[in-house]
Structure 1
Amino acid sequence: MKRGYQIAAVLAALFLAGTAQAHTIGAHGAGFAAGMAHPFIGLDHLLAMVAVGIWAAQLGGRAIWRMPLAFMAMMALGSMFAFVGLLLPAVEAGIAVSVLVLGLLIAVAARFPLAASMLLVGAFALFHGHAHGQELPHAAYALLYSLGFLLATGLLHATGAVMGNLLSRGISTNWVRLMGGGIAAAGVMLVAV
């Protein structure tokens, strides 16, 4: 039992290590590499995208690929909004709330119909995509930048799905739920900032 608390403490420390640093509006020279790096730079993006994969793994079946694809499609739409100057209200708050809510959904092992789950992650993805798109105003390669952050997002979703599957099969579904609690705790910190 003591080991479980130690692991939980380490996970919490990793999730709460810092606030998002990925949103430096107007990044110069953004191309494929900058787009690929962006989801890994901010804790908010990283946790949300991994959480989508974990929750999809919890739901199983077609959710394992449909939820990440819904997220990526709506994220691309959100970035296009930013590219053309359409503003979304409270983008940073929406991203922080996405981390909190996705973590809670994992923690309670929420089971919604697939269409509702896809709609929810898609709504959150609009905020993430808009934040990615805001990075581009001074850069020349919107398509390459977008391909980079979409590929990185797909990799993070796949990482979450693999983690969710391995932990729920190899150890216990309680570990997956604990991970969701850690993500939700990080979301609380992001919302509070």
Structure 2
Amino acid sequence: MKSSKLNPALLLAGLLASIPLSPALAHTGSGVAVGLESGFLHPITGPDHLVAMVAVGLWGAQLGNPAIWILPVTFPLVMAVGGLIGIMGIDLPFVEPIIALSGVALGLMVALSVRPPIWAAAVLVGIFAVFHGYAHGRELPDAADAIAYAVGFVVATGMLHLVGILLGVLVRWEAGAKAVRACGAAIGCVGVYFLLGSIGIIE
């Protein structure tokens, strides 16, 4: 009896198809109310966040040890710093374009199977994490329970990294490696969409 294999490209496509793709709605706060639930939903319902976080897990798995755990640990740790900057009300320039650019860049890293030194990969991931965290942090002052909100978006981030890792381990097979690179290309395309929206080329 043949066992059915899950196609990660189809899984990612289905995930992306189930979320809104309007750049204007990516950070409106829609559905973000208070506490744990709102914090958990913020990265998941923001497709520009979602694709970048999945890409971190994909790239880590593609690079192998120790990147498979260094990148997914680096992102939420540095993201917390960005969140603190947002809470403090310090202005960061170009937040939306850089968040969108993170999807483009990380998607390309996976699609092209780029293998930089681990420190360079961690620095790139960390830079983008600051801006993702900042976007989350700007929501924190309006949340009824800031701690629960923070826990929610950190947990959601970890889960999205895990999705990327689980898909990324398929690189050990030739067909799986191609599927992972296809996922990276899809993420890059979503990132381009949001980048064009963030700079006003599309609405």
State the TM bucket, normalised to the shorter chain. Answer: 0.7 to 0.9
RMSD (Å), alpha carbons: 2.7
- SS of the equivalent of 1:89 reads coil
Q: What residue is the counterpart of 2:62 in the other structure? A: 58
**CA displacement, residues 56-114 of structure 1 (integer Å, 9 cap, x when unaligned):** 00001011111011100111110110111111111101100000000000000000111
- Partner Cα distance (1:13, 1:42) in 2: 11
- Partner Cα distance (2:119, 2:16) in 1: 34
Query: What is the aligned counterpart of 2:180 among 167, 176, 183?
Result: 176
CA contact (8 A) 1:26 1:138 kept: no
- Partner Cα distance (1:31, 1:16) in 2: 22
- Partner Cα distance (1:134, 1:25) in 2: 10
CA displacement at 1:36 relative to structure 2: 0.8
Q: What residue is the counterpart of 1:24 in the other structure? A: 28
- TM-score normalized by the length of structure 1: 0.88
Query: What is the aligned counterpart of 1:186 among 154, 178, 190?
Result: 190
Gaps of 5+ in 1: none
Output the amino acid matched with 2:51. L
CA displacement at 1:16 relative to structure 2: 9.3
CA displacement at 1:174 relative to structure 2: 1.1
CA displacement at 1:17 relative to structure 2: 5.9
CA contact (8 A) 1:67 1:121 kept: yes
CA displacement at 1:143 relative to structure 2: 1.5
- Partner Cα distance (1:28, 1:156) in 2: 18
Q: What residue is the counterpart of 1:72 in the other structure? A: 76
Instruction: Determine what percentage of the aligned residue pairs are the same residue.
Output: 42
Q: What residue is the counterpart of 2:141 in the other structure? A: 137
- Partner Cα distance (1:47, 1:78) in 2: 18
Q: What residue is the counterpart of 1:14 in the other structure? A: 17
Number of aligned positions between the proteins: 188
- Partner Cα distance (1:39, 1:105) in 2: 21
CA contact (8 A) 1:104 1:181 kept: yes
Gaps of 5+ in 2: 1-6, 198-203
- Partner Cα distance (1:69, 1:127) in 2: 16
Most deviating of 17-26 and 110-119 = 17-26
CA contact (8 A) 1:11 1:182 kept: no
- TM-score normalized by the length of structure 2: 0.84
Output the amino acid matched with 1:153. T
- Partner Cα distance (2:18, 2:105) in 1: 15
- SS of the equivalent of 1:171 reads helix
CA displacement at 1:28 relative to structure 2: 7.0
